């Protein structure tokens, strides 16, 4: 099946707020391809999982 739609059918970024059980629920996403690696530019960390992977900038 040749589906040329730029829709993400599966995504491993489970910390993304649009990720629902490895499914992308974002209406549209921006993907950046570099070599073999695809990077989603729409990635947005989920608020309610801020205990992990949150980086806090130290203010001096
Ligand atoms: S927005 Fe990007 S990172 Fe988030 S679930 Fe969709 S494809 Fe994955």
Interval 12-60: pLDDT, tens: 899 999 999 999 999 989 999 889 988 899 999 998 655 554 455 666 6
| pLDDT for res 38 | 85
Q: Is residue 58 part of a domain?
A: no
| pLDDT for res 22 | 93
Q: Is residue 32 part of a domain?
A: yes
Terminal-residue alpha carbon distance, the chain = 55
Ligand 1 neighbour 42 (Cβ under 6 A): yes
Q: Which residue matches tokens 């599966």?
A: 10
Which of 24, 33, 44, 49 gets mutated to test ligand 1 (max ligand atoms within 8 A of its CB)? 24
Joined tokens for residue 35? 């070599």
The number of the ligand 1 atom at minimal distance from the alpha carbon of 29 is 1
What is the span of the domain harbouring residue 40?
A: 9-46
Q: Is residue 52 part of a domain?
A: no
Joined tokens for residue 14? 């489970």
Q: Is residue 38 part of a domain?
A: yes
Residue 50: partners with Cβ closer than 8 Å, 6 or more residues away: none
Q: Is residue 1 part of a domain?
A: no
Question: How many domains is the chain partitioned into structurally?
Answer: 1
What is the spatial distance between Cα 19 and Cα 51, in angstroms, rounded to a whole number? 17
**CA of 57 relative to ligand 1 center, distance in Å:** 24
For the entire predicted model, the pTM comes to: 0.64
Joined tokens for residue 29? 């996403």
Q: Is residue 35 part of a domain?
A: yes
């Amino acid at each position: 099946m040749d589906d040329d739609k730029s829709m993400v059918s599966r995504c491993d970024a489970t910390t993304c707020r649009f990720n629902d059980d490895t499914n992308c629920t974002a209406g549209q996403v921006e993907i950046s391809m570099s070599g073999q690696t695809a990077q989603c530019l729409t990635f947005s960390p989920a608020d309610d999982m801020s205990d992990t992977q949150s980086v806090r900038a130290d203010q001096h």
